[in-house]
Amino acid sequence: MKGVLIQDVSRLWGHHSIKETEDVYAYLVPTGMKPPVNVICQVDIDGTKK
């Protein structure tokens, strides 16, 4: 969702937290960016939450 604030997406979809939104959309991250996103979001976007 390029150019859209994650806070706005979270509210739009009725998520209880930004973390929930991150978990839902993490699969959209390009493969080469998974390690940095895992660190930033503190999740494992291959399916396992940290």
Express each pLDDT in 5-50 by its tens digit.
888 888 998 999 988 888 887 777 766 666 766 676 666 656 655 5
Specify the number of domains making up the chain: 1
Query: Do the domain assignments include residue 48?
Result: no
Task: Give residue 24's domain range.
Answer: 6-41
Query: Do the domain assignments include residue 47?
Result: no
Query: Do the domain assignments include residue 50?
Result: no
Q: Looking at residue 15, what is its pLDDT?
A: 92
pTM score of the predicted model: 0.49
- Separation between Cα atoms, residue 24 and residue 20, nearest integer Å: 6
- Separation between Cα atoms, residue 50 and residue 48, nearest integer Å: 6
Query: Do the domain assignments include residue 31?
Result: yes
Side chain identity at 25, as an amino acid letter?
Y
Contact partners, residue 10, CB within 8 Å, separation at least 6: 17, 18, 20, 21
Query: Do the domain assignments include residue 26?
Result: yes
